[in-house]
Amino acid sequence: MANSNVSTQWLNRDTTRAIFAMRQRTWPSGQAVQVFVLGSNHAIHARFCKEHLSVYPHQLQLAWDRMVFSGTGQAPNRVKDQLEMRERVANTPGAIGYLEREYLDDSVQVISME
């Protein structure tokens, strides 16, 4: 799901993986992407990584750590739970994150993934 001002309606797996790995920093429209994630040990984070990105959470963490330590990038914004995830994505232009269906509401838009 994303901030309501994001014009992108769908993403393929490679683009989604690049965004969450912090390698792609803009939306196709050129708008900056702000990535929000739950903690690496959170069950929802693990499921999102495996099912939607086809990576394990520790692989994603290694990629973030490598960029931070090499000075070539930054880690995503961490949130403590799905309520904070929805609030931060809803209030941050260009934001993307993930939630279970029951946490979705009109404050954010769903982006389809292929």
- Over the chain (114 residues), the average pLDDT of each successive run of 10 is 96 95 94 96 96 96 96 95 98 97 96 87
Q: Report which of 88, 64, 92, 59 is spatially closest to residue 76, judged by C-alpha positions.
A: 64
Model pTM?
0.95
Q: Using an 8 Å Cβ cutoff, are 111 and 51 in contact? A: no
Token pair belonging to 77: 């914004």
Q: Domain 2-113: state its class.
A: alpha beta
Centre a 10 Å sphere on the Cβ of residue 53 and count the other Cβ atoms it contains: 21
Token pair belonging to 114: 């292929």
Q: What is d(CA 94, CA 114) in angstroms, rounded to the nearest whole number?
A: 20
Average pLDDT across the chain, whole number: 96
